[in-house]
Structure 1
Amino acid sequence: MISAFRLTCLFLFTTAAAMAQMPVMKIKSPDAGQSVILSSLKVDVQVTGNIATTVMTMQFRNNSNRVLEGELTFPLPEGVTVSRYALDINGRMREAVPVEKAKATETFESIEQRRVDPGLLEKTEGNNFRTRVYPLPPNGIRTILIGYEEELKGQRYHLPLDYKESIPSFDLKATVWESLAKPELEEKPDGSFAFRNTSGHTYIADIHKTNFQPGNALTIHLPKQADMVESLLQKAGSSYYFLVNAYPKAQSRPRNWGNHIGLIWDVSLSGLKRDTKKELALLDEIIGEKQNLTISLGLLNNRFTPAGTFTITKGDWSALKKVLENVVYDGGTNLSAARPFAVDEYLLFSDGLSSFGAPDMKLFKPVHCITSAPRADYSNLKLAAAQSGGQFINLQTLSVKNAAEQLNKEVLHLIGIRQNSALREVYPSLPVPLDGHVSIAGITDDAAASVTLLYGYRPGAVASEQTVQLKTGEPTMVNVHRIWAQKKIAEMDVRYEQHKEEISQLSRQFGIVTRNTSLIVLETVHDYVRYDIAPPAELREEYDRLVKQQLIAKETKVNDLLQKAVTMATELKSWWNQAFKPAKSGKHFPHPDSVVIVGNGNHVMRETAQLRRQQNAAAAEMKMEESVAASVAAPRAEREASADRLADQVMIRGVASGYINTDKTKDRQKVAIETAAFKSDQVYMKGLEGATPAAAYQHYLSQRDAYSTTPRFYFDIASWFYEANRKDTALTILSSIAELDQENAELYKMMAYKLKENKQYEEEIFVTRKILEWRPMDPQSYRDYALALEDGCYYQQALDTLYSTLLQSYTREASQRDAGIEEIIITEINHLITLHKRRLNLAKIDKRLIASMPVEVRVVINWNKKNTDIDLWITDPSGEKCFYSNPRTEAGGRISNDFTDGYGPEQFILKKALKGRYTIETNFFGESQVTITGPTTVMAEIYTRYAGGEENRKVITMQMPAAGKEGVFIGAFSF
């Protein structure tokens, strides 16, 4: 088994003024201690002009005697992205190749099922990356290589080296090519690190240390003369990529602030990571410049709260400052919740990561977007500023003084280039403020062409221009093409939805990680062939030979689930129309689980979930394939006639006339549903019993530092507030889970379940839509989103989305894992049609699926984690238990296929209920993964008289106890 690196590396390389953040390996085993260390770090930095290429090679040693799993996180600044990733395979480094993100994730998870783990590097929302590292072999070493190009700003290169422990082997080398002046070291890790002139205008500095803890970061200043220009050319066939750097003298004119400013302060949980001291210092500079003004304050997290209007005279803003210094940071971020004030312009202090709502703001006045966060959505902040006529300020790369100067003045911008037929695809094409430096990149067929830069204070009004002659002579070996691609992608990313296909194509071509393209490493050339992924150069010859000779079958996807669904619909109709007559006497007793007798019989071992998983998957696949084959072989005329008969049934008030229950519905009483009471025995819950909501919230804040990264902490406390009927406070605390990790579907599912339980449907719709965006390879993603739409009364969209679940293509592994989900989908499609037919257009729905099948009992369980095995148990009044070993009861109860590997769901339905009490339980076999999500979260939906008159639903969400816990009580009801 090779090492699996699900690399979503969080890079952040900031200026010397910003707080340094370095790679951190977090081990998921709580008792691992300091078992894993960074045993070797090699950094190679090469600077040509204003382009720096950084390659970091890291070796991690596991000093324990067991396999461990970790997560590697380390932070890239604005406009920079990973372009190289490699890891060791059988002792040799193998380069990654670019793949469309969804395909990369599918491939990764399919290979995981074979216990062979690939490496995957992907980007999450904002300019952020993260990683899973598994396995870290006992007493072994894994090696990771990361590379990226960046365009230097302010003529400075910065590499943080903030390591808390010494590194056994440390190597650092920096080379500056073709520099007219000797580079200056503003910070260096060791006193011996110094540049020396090796030849011409090339400067090199390097050190090798053992057991070394760097004292400082590496910050290189590259002196440039004012008004100088540089150009680089990289040959590409008959064309050239070019990069022009200009260092014009900064020009500006005073800017008049409005008299009334709206201040929007992001108080979501991630605000704790912002440099608020720096933000307050910038605000002080702005107010000091204006002196007399009015500021209306709005606090923004998962909701927007007006927090007063402050009249400031002679620069005294102490009252406002006191409010800002004492705000509580809590909850997720919903930028779209911001509401306009009657102001002249806005200041927004935020990281721009809208974790719990849409990212767009409608404020109708200029919005100046300011961030000091180590992780931020730069594209979103830039878009908000550009669309409104405001400015974007990054306090990670600007000092407070420079930021204030930029805001207090109208600065000269690069507003474009003069039209030239020799130039094409020149970026940026949008106005860019001058901060002592500006650069453009493009393509030309003429190496001797010239570029005329146009400067102005506003688009279309040219104040000055500068002509640059492209550099003739020998083209550079610097990756100018990737700098060009990064500039083009960055501009398109501002309007991502409009350009996502082109971004994906460009990022794959140039090997750049974007939000929809990843880098992947596979173990063998056979895997590259099987999953139709072009390998790195070292494997290309063998790959081409295997493909040409067709020696390896490519992975085939299941095109859709429709035919299986049609077969399942026929089975469900047959079941529904069957008359069940349970025996009136006699009690049913629990069915024993399968057992294996070991040795002399004194030790009895329960069958393993793995064995049951294999047996169920094989049986389900065989049964379904046989049914599909039989259905396809049926005479066409017979199938069409059957479909026509179903479609011709007359619907009355949403219930098919042929299926109306003969009971007198007006005489029936609503069935009361009992659910398990919320309880948590965690330490942080002590002190909440009997507390007032205000005291309980303070208790929550007092405990938060100790549990700040624990999802269950927020889930449990939010549950307490929901029980206390404080839904607003509960929602804020629950939404904090969205701030704990980037693009974590398990965390979002946890929130979605709780939102459904508490009827917060608009929020449920947003959360499930994000899950679908991240995981379009799972049928559960479509289903969850569809059911959230139904909760929100978007019935047509719900039906279309639910039906689309059956039309997607899935990997064979996913299809086998989720075999039988069609039964649940069909039930839910017909529920929508039965209740809301008059509001729906059914033209696209296969008629063979449609049949109103109301039932008196329906229970569904869902869970939020893969590789998890949870069983649904329903015990009826006679004592008979319906579960995976007894899927059909004498009373007519049926349970859907036993899901042992995925997200579920599992469903129990019963057409005609027996009189008496029904109990609902789960059996938690366990899970085969360890994640930051914590315990598995289960949501149970309990219905009585489903799809019929007087339907009643109760939803309960709870976290599972330790694996192997049988008979966890969920709920009960009596007919």
Structure 2
Amino acid sequence: MATRLIATVCLSSLIACGGGRSKSAMYAPSPAAEMSAAGPGGGGNKIANEPGETWKRSTIVANSSRVMVGDREQLTLRSMQTNVAVDGYRARVVIDYLYANDHDSQYEGTFQLRLPEEASPFFFAFGETEYAARDAQVAKLTIATDGEVREPRQIMAQRATAWQHPKEARMVPRETAQIAYDQTVRRRVDPAIMEWAGAGVFSARVFPLAARKLHRIVIGYDVDLVRIGNDLEYRFDLPADVPASIVDVSLPDGTVAQSTPRVDGRSASGRQWLHFEGTKDRTIAVRTTPRGAPLLVGTDPAGTFFAGQAAPVLPATKGATSDTGVFLVDTSLSSNPDRFNIWLKLMRGVLDGNRDTMSKFNVLFFSVDAHAFKAAPVANTPQNVDELMTFANTLALEGATDLGAAFGAVSALSLSNADLFLLSDGAATWGESNLHALGRTLRATRSSLFAYQTGLAGTDLAALSHLARESGGAVFSVTGESEIAKATTAHRARPWQLMEARIAGGSDLMIAGRPTSLFPGQTLTFVGRGALAPGAQLELVVNQNGNQQTIHTKLAEPIATPLATRAYGQVATARLEELEDASGSIAKAYATHFRVTGRSSSLLMLDSEADYQRFNIKPDDDAYVVKSVAAAAEFDSQMKKLFDTLGSPKEAFLAHLAKLEKHPSARLQPAASYRALLSQLPVEAFAVPTVPLRTTLRDKRQMPAPVLAMLAKHELDYDAMSADADARRARATPQDALKSLSSLVEQNPGDAVLARDVGFSAMDLGLRAQAYHLFRRVAEARPHEPQTYRAMAQALAAMGKHELAIAYYEIPLAGTWEPRFGDLRTIVVLDYVRFLRGVIAKPGADNVRGYAQSRLATLSQEVKMDRADVVVSITWNTDATDVDLHVIEPSGEECFYQHRRTRSGGELTQDVTQGYGPEMYVLRKAPVGNYNVFAHYFASDRNRASARTKVYVTMFENWGMPDERVTERVIALETGKQKHAIAQLARRAATIAK
């Protein structure tokens, strides 16, 4: 059946311009263009106008989910029901997942969800049903639908009889949510938390998953439609492993749509909807032809808001381009295999379609490593392009994505002013993650960057848009193969500089992506406040080489919908979050009011109102903040102050320090002398650039077939990848080993346990800069865990970054941390004293020598130890885990948590039973003989079926003496095995246990 729908496509990533009269261009260092596509949530410039098709279904399927209760164990998905309400260019999606716990034990689970591109979650609820895990009555749990656009309270009411004691998550600041969750789950009650974990990836820990019961998890998100030629399409990919699924798509009455597969529609209460059940198609699509520029309006307690899309008609003229093209091609796991095939088609298209202007080219393939196709640019001939394609198809697609290292590698090629073509999803899962810092590195190449948005899940459109804008480039939409021809020459158009934007009757106007330049054919998403005048138009003042024009775009009749307020809120929150900590409280108020899950806030679910009160989580008057502080004006005001410091590593460190001072589980109190030291240190002292790993195994023919199969399916087994890393270390290099492990990080962005795990491995492999950045990501996500700062300091010390190592060593000593971290201070002080002695003894480090001498004098009084024959310390990567250090001395006496002092003088620090450690053994005067060191794995996370725990061990012989020897090792603790050998020390020599 045909229905009619008025909509158009969305733009790029998220941006603010000032007030009702935007002047965002004044803060841009260089012209930029936002031509990003209308993938779900994308929007942007459309190059092709003729109808086409989207790319074939990706291996990384949007809406795919799983509930993991261990490294391998996951619950069974019994059914999935989806309700989609489309208004204008935007859709609200509510999905009910039914998961069965077939086990005899209650578990904590990690619910992982891959969302469509730029989808914005607003709702998360979880509850147990009355049905047993294997009950056949699943059909009774189907939710009736009427096609309305529902708010959270209505969603809960609609499911009142579908579960028992359901809980709805509340939006709270992210750090508060993390602390509340951690402390509650240790009490073995039932919280849940949903966090942003990277581009399109959200992770929600849920507890308890009752034994032998069926559980309902409900997720709600808003997303933009995809533009394909002149059409708009809502596309829903069904995961392959769903035994039963229902999808309902509703549209306003009077719209016309075509569906795939074809179904008849029905109408009621002003809505029409299409019902898909039992379909064999793995993708459901509903396509419409929009009429005019859509406009959505809505109200809430904070005011009246609008959101819309427009494609201003700009005159097209050719611009100047470089005669050299450099392609940065992402070969990470996320490109395997679908994106990589698209990248190759685009690359060939750009080379073939621009041979008249692009006379030479080179290609940098990158993941955590980077290697050039040729040592220098080669002629753009058909023969060289064919050779490139043959070579590219030999590459193994694996590893995480290090954009910063790739940009640094381009700078090293000395190709200033070349046009850069970034063929990547833009999701930086490795190395530097701060967009402003990445923008600084990119600007050093002195090149314009052009990127392509495909509409596939997992794309970080905000990152692509930011990088393109900062370099004077653009993001082009290529949502299907029919668009390649025009997309590959789109960079040759001359852009128009955007001087001002305005709409009659509107204020607080923001354009998504903060474009400072516009290209012909570009589609803009705009949001703002106020009741627009009838017949209102979007007016853009643009300039091209002194030719200034005002472009008018008439807007369609407004559609009243709750989607308008969240569309505004999503753009406004993202714009404020771009300012990082400068607008933290305001950004959090916006995120909380509009329920925008992301960098500022998380959805937290606790057991009772008393639990929320225990963590001082209470309703704030966020609506008042939103009503009083216009996002665009706040952004403009702060950007004037911050423009020169955004992306500065020193400013980022100081901002993190300020956050810790306010954090209730850190309460940092830095000494005046420490603050003085930080103020005197140069910016470069805080910079830890990552360089690409120098790998030797790049050809897929060098990889074992089982590993290639796992990579292609994105189904990585932890043990198999660890074994592969060990094999690569033996046959190739430590860098090759770490690249293998980095695929786990790419597959699981935001997993702190895994990041620590791989960070420990990087330390063991001697790759300290890689370890530092992994630990840094953990610290940013979980700033209340002090052992992370010690790990960062250790990595920096090993790199010779003495100034920054001191800065991080001081953090655990300046805070008031949770008691569960045991004798953390004692262990950090001992470690720090040894480091300070080394700094003072060596030449250099003049910036910190005086401070180091002063601190050493103070801390030596606390340590009261000049030397020790044996020192052993351990720390581990999993929370809620009890790992005990045991040392058997030559006499046979065992030092452990129940016998902490031995007759020979051996001492053990306080037992840590709730995760991470550290624990330390010290023996000042060691009798001659063998010392056997063990780790006892008494308790893993009791709410998990299995969770891989790794111990990072540091052993010193002759601590504090000239002939001091240090041994470091990472030990993986095996499930079901309590006693693990770490090492045997024969007084002055250590033989590491295998």
Taking structure 1 as the reference length, the TM-score comes to 0.74
Matched, 1:454 2:540: yes
Matched residue of 1:105: which SS? helix
Structure 1 counterpart of 2:460: 377
Q: Provide the rounded CA distance (Å) in 2 between the counterparts of 1:29 and 1:469.
A: 52
Write the mapping of 1:562-641 to structure 2, written as runs, cut at 5 A.
none
Specify whether residues 25 and 787 from structure 1 end up closer, same or farther in structure 2 by C-alpha distance, changes over 3 A only: same
Specify whether residues 144 and 259 from structure 1 end up closer, same or farther in structure 2 by C-alpha distance, changes over 3 A only: same
Structure 1 counterpart of 2:792: 785
Matched residue of 2:760: which SS? helix
Higher mean displacement: 440-449 or 791-800: 440-449
Q: Provide the rounded CA distance (Å) in 1 between the counterparts of 2:950 and 2:396.
A: 28
Specify whether residues 514 and 413 from structure 1 end up closer, same or farther in structure 2 by C-alpha distance, changes over 3 A only: farther
Specify whether residues 500 and 970 from structure 1 end up closer, same or farther in structure 2 by C-alpha distance, changes over 3 A only: farther
Is the contact made by 2:92 and 2:221 (CA closer than 8 Å) also made in structure 1? Answer: yes
Between the aligned residues of both structures, percent identity stands at: 19
Partner of residue 355 from structure 1, selected from 425, 429, 432: 429
Partner of residue 122 from structure 1, selected from 181, 188, 195: 195
**Shift, 1:560, TM fit:** 5.4
Specify whether residues 442 and 57 from structure 1 end up closer, same or farther in structure 2 by C-alpha distance, changes over 3 A only: same
Q: Provide the rounded CA distance (Å) in 1 between the counterparts of 2:83 and 2:498.
A: 33
Matched, 1:516 2:619: no
Q: Provide the rounded CA distance (Å) in 2 between the counterparts of 1:236 and 1:966.
A: 59
**Shift, 1:914, TM fit:** 1.9
Matched residue of 1:264: which SS? strand
Higher mean displacement: 110-119 or 759-768: 759-768
Q: Provide the rounded CA distance (Å) in 2 between the counterparts of 1:693 and 1:249.
A: 50
Specify whether residues 723 and 910 from structure 1 end up closer, same or farther in structure 2 by C-alpha distance, changes over 3 A only: farther
**Shift, 1:380, TM fit:** 1.9
**Shift, 1:334, TM fit:** 2.0
Q: What count of residue pairs does the alignment treat as equivalent?
A: 800
Partner of residue 114 from structure 2, selected from 75, 79, 85: 75
Partner of residue 729 from structure 1, selected from 736, 743, 749: 736
**Shift, 1:291, TM fit:** 2.8
Specify whether residues 960 and 64 from structure 1 end up closer, same or farther in structure 2 by C-alpha distance, changes over 3 A only: closer
Matched, 1:310 2:313: no
Structure 1 counterpart of 2:915: 902
**Shift, 1:385, TM fit:** 1.1
Partner of residue 141 from structure 1, selected from 214, 225, 238: 214
Is the contact made by 1:291 and 1:314 (CA closer than 8 Å) also made in structure 2? Answer: no
Matched residue of 1:806: which SS? helix
Specify whether residues 750 and 396 from structure 1 end up closer, same or farther in structure 2 by C-alpha distance, changes over 3 A only: farther
Write the mapping of 1:483-494 to structure 2, written as runs, cut at 5 A.
483-493=567-577
Is the contact made by 1:352 and 1:380 (CA closer than 8 Å) also made in structure 2? Answer: yes
Q: Provide the rounded CA distance (Å) in 1 between the counterparts of 2:504 and 2:524.
A: 19
Higher RCO (CA 8 Å, separation ≥ 6 residues): 2
Matched, 1:717 2:724: yes
Is the contact made by 1:125 and 1:515 (CA closer than 8 Å) also made in structure 2? Answer: no
**Shift, 1:271, TM fit:** 2.4
For 1:385, give the aligned amino acid.
Answer: A
Q: Provide the rounded CA distance (Å) in 2 between the counterparts of 1:504 and 1:13.
A: 22
Q: Provide the rounded CA distance (Å) in 1 between the counterparts of 2:307 and 2:94.
A: 22
Per-residue CA distance 1:581-637 (angstroms, 9 max, x = gap): xxxxxxxxxxxxxxxxxxxxxxxxxxxxxxxxxxxxxxxxxxxxxxxxxxxxxxxxx
Alignment gaps of 5+ in structure 1: 1-10, 538-555, 567-691
Write the mapping of 1:487-886 to structure 2, written as runs, cut at 5 A.
487-493=571-577, 496=580, 502-534=586-618, 700-705=703-708, 708=711, 709-723=716-730, 726-810=733-817, 815-837=818-840, 839-841=849-851, 849-851=859-861, 853-854=865-866, 855-886=868-899
Per-residue CA distance 1:267-297 (angstroms, 9 max, x = gap): 2233215422222222232223223531112
Matched, 1:325 2:373: no
Matched, 1:160 2:199: no
Is the contact made by 1:370 and 1:395 (CA closer than 8 Å) also made in structure 2? Answer: yes
**Shift, 1:110, TM fit:** 0.8
For 1:325, give the aligned amino acid.
Answer: N
Matched residue of 1:148: which SS? strand
Specify whether residues 94 and 112 from structure 1 end up closer, same or farther in structure 2 by C-alpha distance, changes over 3 A only: closer
Q: Provide the rounded CA distance (Å) in 2 between the counterparts of 1:63 and 1:695.
A: 41
Specify whether residues 458 and 184 from structure 1 end up closer, same or farther in structure 2 by C-alpha distance, changes over 3 A only: farther
Q: Provide the rounded CA distance (Å) in 2 between the counterparts of 1:403 and 1:694.
A: 34
Partner of residue 91 from structure 1, selected from 139, 164, 175: 164
**Shift, 1:410, TM fit:** 4.5
Q: Provide the rounded CA distance (Å) in 2 between the counterparts of 1:886 and 1:229.
A: 75
Q: Provide the rounded CA distance (Å) in 1 between the counterparts of 2:599 and 2:738.
A: 28
When the two chains are superposed, the root-mean-square deviation of aligned CA atoms in Å is 3.8
For 1:716, give the aligned amino acid.
Answer: A
Structure 2 counterpart of 1:674: none
Is the contact made by 1:416 and 1:455 (CA closer than 8 Å) also made in structure 2? Answer: yes
Partner of residue 261 from structure 1, selected from 325, 347, 350: 325
**Shift, 1:896, TM fit:** 0.8
Is the contact made by 1:747 and 1:933 (CA closer than 8 Å) also made in structure 2? Answer: no
For 2:430, give the aligned amino acid.
Answer: F
Partner of residue 79 from structure 2, selected from 17, 39, 46: 39
Matched, 1:368 2:443: no
Structure 2 counterpart of 1:960: 973
Structure 1 counterpart of 2:92: 53
For 2:888, give the aligned amino acid.
Answer: T
Per-residue CA distance 1:717-737 (angstroms, 9 max, x = gap): 333444567233233334333
Partner of residue 430 from structure 1, selected from 515, 540, 543: 515
Specify whether residues 515 and 237 from structure 1 end up closer, same or farther in structure 2 by C-alpha distance, changes over 3 A only: closer
Is the contact made by 1:101 and 1:517 (CA closer than 8 Å) also made in structure 2? Answer: yes
Matched residue of 1:907: which SS? strand
Matched residue of 1:323: which SS? helix
Specify whether residues 930 and 523 from structure 1 end up closer, same or farther in structure 2 by C-alpha distance, changes over 3 A only: closer
Q: Provide the rounded CA distance (Å) in 2 between the counterparts of 1:770 and 1:868.
A: 21
**Shift, 1:108, TM fit:** 0.9
Taking structure 2 as the reference length, the TM-score comes to 0.73
Per-residue CA distance 1:859-908 (angstroms, 9 max, x = gap): 11121112222221222233322111221111211011122220111101
Structure 2 counterpart of 1:288: 352
Structure 1 counterpart of 2:941: 928
For 1:192, give the aligned amino acid.
Answer: V
The structure having more radius of gyration, on CA atoms, is 1
Matched residue of 2:373: which SS? strand
Q: Provide the rounded CA distance (Å) in 2 between the counterparts of 1:712 and 1:166.
A: 27
Matched, 1:192 2:195: no
Is the contact made by 1:796 and 1:840 (CA closer than 8 Å) also made in structure 2? Answer: no
**Shift, 1:224, TM fit:** 2.6
Is the contact made by 1:59 and 1:142 (CA closer than 8 Å) also made in structure 2? Answer: yes
Is the contact made by 1:418 and 1:453 (CA closer than 8 Å) also made in structure 2? Answer: yes
**Shift, 1:159, TM fit:** 3.4
Specify whether residues 44 and 230 from structure 1 end up closer, same or farther in structure 2 by C-alpha distance, changes over 3 A only: same
Partner of residue 172 from structure 1, selected from 248, 251, 260: 248
Structure 1 counterpart of 2:138: none
Specify whether residues 433 and 141 from structure 1 end up closer, same or farther in structure 2 by C-alpha distance, changes over 3 A only: farther
Is the contact made by 2:335 and 2:397 (CA closer than 8 Å) also made in structure 1? Answer: yes
Q: Provide the rounded CA distance (Å) in 1 between the counterparts of 2:529 and 2:423.
A: 37
Specify whether residues 112 and 719 from structure 1 end up closer, same or farther in structure 2 by C-alpha distance, changes over 3 A only: same
For 1:352, give the aligned amino acid.
Answer: G
Matched residue of 1:120: which SS? strand
For 1:841, give the aligned amino acid.
Answer: Y
Matched residue of 2:815: which SS? coil
Q: Provide the rounded CA distance (Å) in 2 between the counterparts of 1:805 and 1:706.
A: 43
Is the contact made by 1:453 and 1:467 (CA closer than 8 Å) also made in structure 2? Answer: yes
**Shift, 1:406, TM fit:** 3.7
**Shift, 1:134, TM fit:** 4.3
Is the contact made by 2:318 and 2:492 (CA closer than 8 Å) also made in structure 1? Answer: yes
Alignment gaps of 5+ in structure 2: 1-38, 43-52, 129-162, 622-662, 672-694, 841-847, 989-994
For 1:366, give the aligned amino acid.
Answer: S
**Shift, 1:450, TM fit:** 4.6
Write the mapping of 1:441-480 to structure 2, written as runs, cut at 5 A.
441-444=527-530, 450-454=536-540, 456=542, 462-466=548-552, 468=554, 476-480=560-564
**Shift, 1:512, TM fit:** 0.6
